[in-house]
Amino acid sequence: MNDKTRRLAMVFIVMGVLQSPFFASLDAQEDGAGTTEISASTLKDLISEDPQKSKAAIQLIREAKDPSLLDDLAPLLDSPEGRSRQIVTMLVLGVYPDLAHQFFKQASQRPAAPAREAAMYGLARIPSAVVVEDLVNGLKDQEKVVRTAALRGMQLICRPDSSVLFPALLTAETSQIPNLHPGSAAVQQFLGGSLEPSFRTELKGIWHETSTHQTLTKIQNDFAGNFKNEDTERALQKIFNSSRGWTGKPTTDQDLSYTFSMVNLASGSTKEISIEATPKESSLVRQLDYHLDRGVHLRLIADLWLQAPHLYTLSISIEKNSVLVEVDMAGAPSLHAGVGLLNIAYWQGRVATCSKATLKFNSSNGRFISEKGFDANSKLVWSAAVGSWLTTDQPSTTKDFPESIQVLMPEGQVGARKYHLDFNAIFKISQGQWHLSKAEMNEWVPDSSGKKESSLKAIAELDFKSQ
């Protein structure tokens, strides 16, 4: 058993024991310590590499329910061994829910960085808004690993439960909607509170899965209004207004009902998914960085910048017909494009080497034109462009939507290999709703003469259902 497998096994053991019928019956007992005494050897067995010893120790501690054991469990978080910290974290959350906040708050102040890191993850799993302040304090830690854990904790707070959400998307019947963490509103207030966060690079890594449409809109307005040059402010407002219908986690007041089908031509695999999503469900799934209207896996540089211009902007220049934005991609999540919906994809190409980028927008109407991404050696690793546009009149506003988007990846990574990929997506508007029509992924491969030819690898189509 390798280290990764052993760590996962320990986590599942802890979760399984805490959720077992045996311990469910114990929950019905009176609160307070049991009669079982916990010895030093039991604590040693708790973090043993022997799964059976760990399981037995967990059972004893769970039966004892002795709050004084928390003082003995806290030092175990100091270990650099992640397995030990995972066991203690899950144990405290499951056995001492009423004392968990105090326990992890104190752990966040321990001298050992591993303990402070574990505390951030433990705090994020406590269903209370009070933990947000502790996570914000974690962002001030001198150790990057602790700051990163605090940000990941915020991300966890803002993510809906996919195990509840995904089934709801597949049926038109009234479904359970996952409840958001009580601290999610406090996280949004924190995210939208400053245009100059001190942890800019780290924040890029989670912003796309943490911020909401309301937070993004506030940041965009604050960012544009922060420019003393009125021409720049007006140009930015045009860009933000033009993009608000199709990127930046747009909201909708319409149900989405369609059938999505895709084929992996390289392997012969096929997949068909029926979507029946309410506006609320469409909004929630965007927090997982999936977009039901796009109907493809696509993360543009423009998406990242439009969601967080204060984190990415290096410079903005206005030319006669265009606005150019220089973007710093350090710390950004990988770019990707591919045929796929939700957590299933065929031939999704990824680019993780983009260091800097240039975005181009139309200066007269704010429409996105194109983008280019370069690695640290100024080599082009990503380019994307909108070929044509669609316009729909909505109440009190007119929104622009791309009709076609093309993405080129000279070295797009699919699995362990890199390919020269060409992704194309066509969109349409049905009953006022913008959505995917069809998409395809092509690979450019050399023929016998060395000239490259296009080879179709995967295709997708979306059949929109009338309301």
Q: Which residues contact 355 (CB under 8 A, 6 or more apart)?
A: 329, 330, 374, 375, 376
Percentage of the chain beyond pLDDT 70 is 90
**Residue type at 149 in one-letter notation:** A
Considering only 24-28, 206-210, 360-364, 373-377, which range has the smallest mean pLDDT? 24-28
Paired with 400 in beta bridges are 391
Output 452 or 235, whichever has higher pLDDT. 235
- The confidence score (pLDDT) of residue 26 equals 30
User: What is the C-alpha separation between 290 and 348, in angstroms, rounded?
Assistant: 14
290, 282 Cβ separation under 8 angstroms: no
Structure confidence by residue, pLDDT tens digits, 366-422:
999 999 999 999 999 999 999 999 987 665 556 789 999 999 999 999 999 999 999
How far, rounded to the nearest angstrom, does the alpha carbon of residue 85 sit from its chain's CA centroid? 24
- The confidence score (pLDDT) of residue 397 equals 57
Topology of domain 3-158 in CATH is Leucine-rich Repeat Variant (1.25.10)
User: What is the C-alpha separation between 352 and 344, in angstroms, rounded?
Assistant: 20
Output 192 or 50, whichever has higher pLDDT. 192
- Which two tokens mark 403? 């009709």
Considering only 35-44, 318-327, 432-441, which range has the smallest mean pLDDT? 35-44
- The confidence score (pLDDT) of residue 28 equals 35
**Entry pTM:** 0.87
Output 2 or 189, whichever has higher pLDDT. 189
Question: Taking the domains of the chain in order of start, what are their residue ranges?
Answer: 3-158, 192-464
Residue 220 has pLDDT above 50, yes or no: yes
